Amino acid sequence: MIHLTPWDLVIASSMIILLAITSLLLQLNIARQLTIAAIRNVIQLLLIGYILKLIFNTSNLFLLASIATIMLLVAGYEINARQKYPLKRWVGFKIGTSALFLSSFSMVLLTLMVIVAPTPWYSPQYAIPLLGMLLGNTMNGISLGMDKLNQSVYQQRAIIEQRLMLGQTYQEAIKEIRTESIRTGMIPIINSMAIAGLVSLPGMMTGQILSGTPPVEAVKYQILIFFLIASGTGFGIMLAVWMIAKRMFDERQRLDLAILKIK
Amino acid sequence: MGMTGPSGIGKSILLKALADILPHQGEIFLGEIESQMIPAPQWRRKVALLPAESQWWCDTVGEHFKIFDETLFGQLGFEQKVMGWQISHLSSGEKQRLACIRLLINQPEALLLDEPTANLDKDNQANLESLISDYQKKYQIPVIWISHDKAQLERVCQQLLVLNKENYKLRPLTGAQL
């Protein structure tokens, strides 16, 4: 495998800087977010690189659990960032984190204990990359689904109230919105499964091939990951949408948007 | 019973509270039943609220109705083909009449009407008034009717509740009293 020098990364970063300058000139309002994200990216990845190097040499369940917890909490927080009509901070964090935990962790446990089954099952070389991919993708899906749900309910609140007035239950009154939100959250993963191999070579598979794994072995892993991500995302969104929708109505099934942080 | 009073006094809020769609204090009885004794959707089917502005969520009229009731639709001047009409092409008057039919199809046991004829011409106004009055007589149910039209209230109500900033008055309506 060809090793990258710091200089190689500097060249790549000049492209990001070019993009930031262009977007500034065009007043696209993304220069700031782009720059921050790029800098965070470098720091976080370097940090995790060194941490991984350290813990790969020790198979310590406690250490692994702590890292997994940190990953979960950060993802749970990030779900609610960048939403148009975000949930109030604490509720949003609670719902996001529990949906992530139930969906991603169960998928990872299934993989570690039954499917890949390394020895020991909590071997960090498998556990951390798997958990990372699952959490990252599930987080994206849940975040998109939540954004759609909150926005639709807020904008269609008069319609929802009308349906309640006609004697519909709250589940009936938001049925279409709920379906649409789950669909929105699932689009990215369904798209990437559908085009994988034809249009795009998925990231993990590319990485394995670059580092010398035989292509068919890499493909098998990629299929496994796709299935895990799709199921994790799907169940995660359903959980989150179900939990939020329930809390948007009070005990007498009145629409109550106190759960939203409306600016 | 009619209800009138200046804008912003809380007439619509009161109707919403009665339909248990807004949090409220006190108890609401329909016959022997208090609102909290039965599930909210069931209460709202019994105590039906017609809001001042109706909302529609599907593309065509028909999707909002489980059945086509020929007499109800006919009384407000609609034929079967209305079921295929696009919601986006309806006038505000058509929406108001259809919303009224949609409400009565649920066979409510009390009616809360928030300016039900605000967008209607004279003929349709008369049709809707007689439709409501027929329904009221047939099932012997309470009706609360918000309106700013005193002549109309005189026609359709037996008592009138007048809300003001300082107080409220309930008085019987016997023809010439307004």
The CATH number assigned to the domain holding B157 equals 3.40.50.300
Whole-angstrom distance, CA of residue A24 vs CA of residue A30 = 8
What residues have CB less than 8 Å from A71, skipping those under 6 apart?
A: A131, A132, A135
pLDDT at B174 over 60: no
Average pLDDT over residues B62-86: 93
Does the pLDDT at position B178 exceed 70?
A: no
Q: Phi first, then psi: what are they for A179, rounded to 5°?
A: -60, -45
Q: With contacts defined as CB-CB under 8 Å, which chain B residues touch A253?
A: 39-41
> Cβ separation of B44 and A254 shorter than 8 Å?
no
Which A residues, 138 through 177, put their C-beta within 8 Å of a C-beta on chain B?
156, 158-159, 161-169, 176
Residue B53 has pLDDT above 60, yes or no: yes
How many independent structural domains does chain B possess?
A: 1
Interface of A with B in 200-259 (CB under 8 A): 250, 252-254
- Average pLDDT of the segment spanning B87-101: 95
CB contact under 8 A, B48 and A168: no
Integer distance in angstroms from the first to the last C-alpha of chain B? 14
Residue among B19, B23, B41 whose CB faces A168 most closely = B41
Q: Is residue B146 part of a domain?
A: yes
Q: Select, from the ranges A63-72, B3-12, B157-166, the one with the highest average predicted confidence (pLDDT).
A: A63-72
Beta carbons of B42 and A167 less than 8 Å apart: yes
Across the interface, whether the CB atoms of A254 and B21 are under 8 A apart is answered yes
pLDDT digit string, tens, across residues A161-179 = 999 999 999 999 999 999 9
Give residue-wise pLDDT tens across range B21-42.
999 988 999 999 999 999 999 9
Domain that holds residue B117: 2-18+46-163
User: Is the model's pLDDT at B19 over the cut of 50?
Assistant: yes
CA angle in degrees (0–180, nearest 5) for A53-A56-A57: 100
Contact criterion met (CB < 8 Å) for B19 and A165: yes
Strand B2-4 with B143-146, pairing: parallel
Partners of B57 on chain A (C-beta within 8 Å) are 156, 159, 162-163, 176
Nearest to B23 among A162, A165, A254 (CB): A254
The answer to whether A179 contacts chain B (CB < 8 Å) is no
In Å, how far is B45's CA from the nearest CA of chain A? Answer: 5
Interface contact flag, A253 B57, Cβ < 8 Å: no
Asked if the structure places residue B25 within a domain, the reply is no
Residue B71 within any structural domain of the chain: yes
Q: Distance between CA A160 and CA A142 in Å, rounded?
A: 23
Q: What is the ipTM of this complex?
A: 0.90
For residue B173, is pLDDT > 70?
no
Distance, CA of B49 to CA of B20 (rounded, Å): 10
Parallel/antiparallel/unpaired status of strands B143-146 and B168-172: unpaired
Burial (CB count <10 Å: 0-12, 13-18, 19+), residue A205: buried
Per the CB < 8 A criterion, the answer to whether A252 and A165 are in contact is no
Are the beta carbons of B102 and A163 separated by less than 8 Å? no
Check CB contact under 8 Å for A164 and B102.
no
Q: What are the domain boundaries of chain A? A: 1-55, 60-259
d(CA B62, CA B60): 6
For residue A89, count other CB atoms closer than 10 A to its CB.
11
- Which stretches of chain A score pLDDT less than 70? 263
List the single best residue of A161, A252, A256 to mutate versus B (max B Cβ within 10 A): A252
